[in-house]
Each structure stands twice: as structure tokens, then as C-alpha cells.
Amino acid sequence: MRMIFLHTTVFLWILCGVSAEYQNVALQGRATQSTIINDVRYGFLSAAINAIDGNQDTDFYRGSCSHTDRNLSPWWRVDLLKPYKIAYIKVTNRINYGSRINGAEILIGNSLSDNGNHNPRCAVITSIPDGATQTFYCHGMTGRYVNIILRGKTEYLQLCEVEVWTADSN
């Protein structure tokens, strides 16, 4: 298997002579989340869209991470604007307080019932080291919405980048 990088959002995967072009469709999506951090010093840094800005900077104070307030079952969602068959999702964790993401569920589907938090599960994030990126394979699950939720926990949800990779064409 050999990978050839074309640019930051698209790469060509060559495997046994068959190629597929993958793209990060989250970059064109619309993000929202349950809350923003309730702190006048940092609230402006915590917008949901920061997690799909294409910048994997893991330092929250540089303005490239999303951050909810500390609530029960905080969630974040990206609307991909149409359904895609999703190959995998990459999640980049904050450089500090990284254990807050432990137990988060990644959901994919077409429903906005309970803000999309009843869609089928792709994966559970058991842990991602501080400042690290982890890949979760969704095996072709199809959906317009990708949610990340800390179901049943009273916690902050912070995401420095969420990439949603598909071979579907725009």
C-alpha cells in the first residue's frame, strides 16, 4: 500500500492497482454544539466551527478548538450538507485536559432527533492522548450529520479538529 499526498484535504490511495480519492468533507460543513464555555475570557475561542477549520493546533488559547461549557451530555455536530458514505473520522484532542474526551461517542446519521444524538454509533473514544490525533473507521456508514457526545457525563467537550473522510464525490 502506498499513499501519495496531493494536498491537505485530498489524497490518493493506491492499493492493488485500484485508486480512490478521499476528501475531508467536514471542511465544507456547518458546525454547532450544545453550549460554548461560559467564561467571558474564553467564550469567543470556543466556537464549534473551530473544530473544522483545517487547523490541528491543539492549544485552545490559539483559537482553533471548540469547547462546550460543563454540562450533562455535552455534544458537538457537523452538518455535511448532504449524506456521505464515511470511511473514517479523525479526532484531534486538546494538548491539556485530554482525558475529558474519554468515553465520547461518534455518531453518524441523517436524523436531527435530539440534535442528532440518536443516530447510529460509529465508535467510542476510549482515550486520545493529550494533543494527539486518532482515527476511527466507520466502514461506510452513511449520514449527513456527525455528532460527538459525552452521553451521561457532566463534563466539558473540547475538540481541536474533526475530519470526516469519504471517497464520495461532491
Domain residue spans of the chain: 24-166
Q: What is the pLDDT of residue 2?
A: 36
The CA distances from residue 157 to 10, 18, 40, 137, 153, in Å, are 28, 39, 18, 21, 10
**pLDDT at residue number 170:** 62
Digitized pLDDT (tens) for each residue of the chain, 170 residues in all: 333 333 344 444 444 444 569 999 999 999 999 999 988 788 778 999 999 999 999 999 999 999 999 999 999 999 999 999 999 999 999 999 999 999 999 999 999 999 999 999 999 999 999 999 999 999 999 999 999 999 999 999 999 999 999 998 76
Please state the pTM of the whole predicted model: 0.88
- Rounded Cα–Cα distance for residues 117 and 133 (Å): 23
Between CA 40 and CA 53 the distance in angstroms is: 22
Annotation: CATH topology of 24-166 = Jelly Rolls (2.60.120)
Q: Please, is 155 exposed, middle or buried when counting C-beta atoms within 10 Å of its C-beta (0-12, 13-18, 19+)?
A: buried
Q: How far apart are CA 113 and CA 97, in angstroms?
A: 30
